[in-house]
């Protein structure tokens, strides 16, 4: 069955970077786009970006455009999301999601809590 | 890129039907075949309930249905059940090849 296993919680200082991973299993990793979505405390879901199956192209939400990098490693079926210049507003639960093939996320990781605090 | 507008809360009694609206613009909902809906219990993984405006993934109950008119998409839950109590989010593909979520709606079963 499809599983997306995310890396553990992180605590970072303001101005630092964080890199979250998402290891996929149970399907052909190189056939599907992958997304990152986050939810800050008390807030709604927020789409961050998407990466193509081959990893050769990404599309980011405008608000993250200049400080996010999404990559993927086909050899380990792992997706990565790096967010730079962290502020307290980046404290959130970060989810990876597999695209269904029809512009929606059909399987999701369990979430990775990133806390930004001095 | 503003979030799509949803009512903050909707409630109903068991067995009733409720509808959650999701209002966007001609640059997202109004121009997209790709509107999806998610059920979310905070702290857990969201669950895809509707995709491509009206389609249900396998395993999702047929008492969930989706529709769209102009810039507004809707999710209807017919025959409301206690286990339907959750947060619901719409999501639309946009004209600049990004995605935008709705503000979220808390569904309460009375």
Q: For A41-92, what is each residue's pLDDT tens digit?
A: 999 999 999 999 999 999 999 999 999 999 999 999 999 999 999 999 999 9
User: What confidence score (pLDDT) does residue A108 get?
Assistant: 97
Q: Hey, is the C-beta of A39 within 8 angstroms of any chain B C-beta?
A: yes
Cβ neighbors of B44 (< 8 A, separation 6 or more) are A111
Rounded CA separation A22/B81 (Å): 33
Task: Tell me the average pLDDT across B75-90.
Answer: 96
Region B12-24: what's the mean pLDDT? Answer: 97
Q: Does A19 touch chain B (CB under 8 A)?
A: no
Residue environment code for A69-78, b if the CB has 16+ CB neighbours within 10 A, otherwise e: bbebeeeebb
| Mean pLDDT value across residues B63-75 | 97
Interface of A with B in 72-101 (CB under 8 A): 93, 95, 97, 100
Query: Which residues does chain B have within 8 Å of residue A100's beta carbon, measured at their own beta carbons?
Result: 48, 51, 57
- Overall average pLDDT of the A14-43 stretch: 97
Which residues of chain A have a CB within 8 Å of the CB of B34? 102-104
Select from B84, B93, B75, B64 the least CA-distant residue to B1: B93
Quick check: B89 and A44 CB within 8 A?
yes
- The confidence band for B52, taking pLDDT boundaries of 50, 70 and 90, is very high
pLDDT at A101 over 90: no
Assess B60–A contact: CB distance below 8 Å, yes or no: no
Angle CA(A41)–CA(B66)–CA(A46) in degrees, nearest 5?
20
pLDDT (0 to 100) of residue B1: 76
Residue B84 CA, chain-centre distance (Å), reads 13
Q: What is the pLDDT of residue A103?
A: 87
Mean pLDDT of A30-44: 96
The DSSP output letter for A7 is P
- Over residues B49-68, the mean pLDDT reads 96
């Amino acid at each position: 069955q499809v599983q997306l296993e995310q890396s553990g919680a992180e605590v970072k200082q303001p101005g630092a970077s964080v890199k979250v991973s998402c290891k996929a299993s149970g399907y052909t990793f190189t056939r599907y786009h992958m997304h990152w979505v986050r939810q800050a405390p008390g807030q709604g879901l927020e789409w961050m970006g998407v990466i193509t199956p081959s990893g050769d192209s990404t599309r980011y939400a405008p608000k993250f455009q200049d400080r996010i990098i999404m990559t993927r490693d086909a050899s380990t079926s792992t997706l990565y999301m790096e967010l730079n210049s962290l502020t307290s507003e980046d404290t959130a639960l970060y989810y990876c999601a597999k695209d269904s093939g029809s512009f929606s996320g059909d399987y999701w990781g369990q979430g990775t809590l990133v806390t930004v605090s001095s | 890129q503003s979030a799509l507008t949803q009512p903050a809360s909707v409630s109903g009694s068991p067995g009733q039907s409720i509808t959650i609206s999701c209002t966007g613009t001609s640059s997202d909902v109004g121009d997209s075949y790709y509107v999806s809906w998610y059920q979310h219990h905070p702290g857990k993984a969201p669950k895809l309930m509707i995709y491509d405006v009206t389609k249900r993934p396998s395993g999702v109950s047929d008492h969930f249905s989706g529709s769209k008119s102009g810039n507004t998409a809707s999710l209807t839950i017919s025959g409301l059940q206690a286990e339907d109590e959750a947060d619901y989010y719409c999501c639309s593909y946009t004209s600049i090849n990004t995605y935008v979520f709705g503000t979220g709606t808390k569904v309460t079963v009375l």
